[in-house]
């Protein structure tokens, strides 16, 4: 007959196997300016249902970021001085890793959303 302490490793492995995909999913991506990667961009992960901030990381020298997540729907914001803020909303992670591309634009080249006429006339 087995005691509880002898069965504990088996049940722990069973629990990890059963919940493994939920614990080990990855939401990653790259931040680009046209065709160039952008390092040092703050990337923020929020829960899409309530906008609670779950995590925040900076892109590496290759413009890459990565979050470990459980299945859910997320919003991802990209922030860097001299660039417009960009949000990718409703990114769904179910049972596989997800990778996205975020395009940011220098503020100098961004269109003024309040302008209704051509300023060059």
Q: Which string of DSSP letters, residue by residue, matches 36-76?
A: EE-SS-EEEEEETTT--EEEEEE--TTSEEEEEE-SEEEEE
User: Hey, where are the domains in the chain?
Assistant: 25-108
**Residue of 50, 48, 51 whose CA lies nearest to 92:** 48
**Residue of 23, 21, 32, 20 whose CA lies nearest to 65:** 32
Q: What is the pLDDT of residues 55-101, one digit of tens each?
A: 999 999 999 999 999 999 999 999 999 999 999 999 999 999 999 99
Average pLDDT, the chain: 84
- Read off the tokens for 98: 């997800």
Are residues 90 and 73 in contact, defined by beta-carbon separation less than 8 angstroms? yes
| Distance in angstroms (rounded) separating the CA atoms of residues 103 and 71 | 24
H/E element, 12: helix 4-23
Q: Supply the pLDDT for residue 108.
A: 85
Q: Does 7 score more than 70 pLDDT? A: no
Q: Look up the pTM and report it.
A: 0.72
Given the candidates 3.90.1150.10, 2.60.40.1120, 2.30.30.20, 3.40.720.10, the CATH classification of the domain at 25-108 is 2.60.40.1120
């Amino acid at each position: 007959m087995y005691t509880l302490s002898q069965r504990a490793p088996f049940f722990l492995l069973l629990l990890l196997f059963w919940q493994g995909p939920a614990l080990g999913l990855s939401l990653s991506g790259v931040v680009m300016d046209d065709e160039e990667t952008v390092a040092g961009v703050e990337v923020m992960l929020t829960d899409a249902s309530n906008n609670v901030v779950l995590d925040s990381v900076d892109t590496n020298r290759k413009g890459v970021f990565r979050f470990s997540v459980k299945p859910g729907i997320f919003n991802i914001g990209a922030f860097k001085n001299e660039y417009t803020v960009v949000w990718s909303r409703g990114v769904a992670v179910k049972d596989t890793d997800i990778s996205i591309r975020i395009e940011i634009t220098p503020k100098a080249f961004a269109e003024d959303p309040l302008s209704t006429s051509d300023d060059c006339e």
